[in-house]
Structures are given as C-alpha cells and as structure tokens.
Amino acid sequence: MKLADILLGVCRISDSAVEKMLSIADEVSFRRGSVIIDSQTVDRNVYFVKRGLVRAYVDAAGREVTFWFGEEGAVVVSMESYVNGLPGYETVEAIEDTELYRIRKSGLESLYGEDIEIANWGRKFAEKDILRAEKCLIPHLYTTATERYADFVSRHGTLLNRLPLEYVASYLGITPVSLSRIRGRLVSRR
C-alpha cells in the first residue's frame, strides 16, 4: 500500500502536504516474529503498514494478551512513547514479513509547526486512534465471547487465514479451546 494513500485515509490533505510528509518518511522491514516496538524501550516513531501483518500485545503475568492487529494501511504507534517519551506498555510484533513506512516524531513535529494542514492531519489521526481504541475496548466489557468473535469475523474476517488462532483467542479474551468451541457451534448452525 502506498504511504500517500494511507495518509489520505486519515483525512484529506493537499498534494503539497502529502509531499512534505513523504519527504520525511523512510521504509523499514521486519521478518516474521521480529519485535517492531518493544515495551521496554521508548519508540517515538509512527509506522504505517505497507505490506504485512502485525499485532500488539502486553505481557500479563507471563501470558501474552493480544489487543490489536494491524494489516496493510494500519498505523502503528506506541502512544505512551510518542506522547510522553516513556516506554510503552505494549510490544508490537510482525506476524508476517512486514514492510513499514516510518516517520520520526521530530520530523512530524517540525511539519506540525510549519503547516496547519499537517497539524490538523495529526489531530484527526489522534482522534481516529482514540475511536479505534474505544471500539476495541468497550465491547469487551459487555459482550459475550461469541458476540466478540462474530464481531471480529464481520470486521476482520479476512485476517482469520493470516492469524494464528491463539492470537485471535487472546484478542477475544478467551482460551484457544473456547474459541474452537465457539467456531464449532457457529459452523454447526449453518
């Protein structure tokens, strides 16, 4: 996926604003299983998935709890690191060989100061990231595992063939055995 298309997916900006943002971006690659953002370090970059698949997880008492997946076009950032300059709580890992565009905070901050259109892009980016987090977190508080799985399939069904089921189970807050039971019940209803 082209970086210009990803940037314009956040909000419409002029060609000149896109060109300024492209000028401060570079590309990085990660092999499957590589850590992109480590929870123990500060990473003040914003990444955009060009090709591949990533997941974000936290270590909860020695157990990895997946809370987000990002495919082509997704924005990858540790907000704690980016905003506060502190190690984030999440680790982001490449599930597949992954190519990312990277923009460093220093370059983006410089553009925010000189171009109001890019500053507004940054605001829209932050707003969309908050909404994404809400859509992920809030339903976990009041829906059943079966409802969460059905929602996952409706929103991210194409990822099922690309993801290990243990990651999907972790994302849903259930065990792989429970996920198998849910999938079996749903298939038998058809």
Write the pLDDT tens digit of every residue in 22-76.
999 999 999 999 999 999 999 999 999 999 999 999 998 889 999 999 999 999 9
Cα within 13 Å of Cα(110), Cβ side: 9
Residue 130: both structure tokens together: 């908050």
Three-state secondary-structure class, residue 97: coil
Superfamily of domain 3-141: Jelly Rolls (2.60.120.10)
Residue 187 has pLDDT above 90, yes or no: no
> Average pLDDT for residues 78-90, to the nearest whole number?
94
Residue 8: both structure tokens together: 């314009």
Average pLDDT, the chain: 94
Residue 158: both structure tokens together: 């194409």
Report the candidate in 69, 123, 70, 79 with the shortest Cα–Cα distance to residue 100. Answer: 70
Three-state secondary-structure class, residue 25: strand
- Extended strands (E) in 52-160: 54-60, 63-70, 75-76, 91-94, 98-104
Report pLDDT for 87. 96
Report the distance separating Cα 126 and Cα 59, nearest Å: 25
Report the distance separating Cα 116 and Cα 1, nearest Å: 26
For residue 160, what is the DSSP state? T
Report pLDDT for 65. 93
Report the distance separating Cα 47 and Cα 185, nearest Å: 38
pLDDT in tens, 99-110: 999 999 999 999
What is the chain's alpha carbon radius of gyration, rounded to the nearest angstrom?
Answer: 18
Which residues share a beta bridge with 46? 103
Report pLDDT for 138. 86
**Residue 118 or 60, more confident:** 118
Residue 120 has pLDDT above 80, yes or no: yes
Question: What pTM does this model have?
Answer: 0.91
Report pLDDT for 156. 87
> Average pLDDT for residues 169-184, to the nearest whole number?
92
Report the distance separating Cα 176 and Cα 167, nearest Å: 9
Residue 190 has pLDDT above 70, yes or no: no
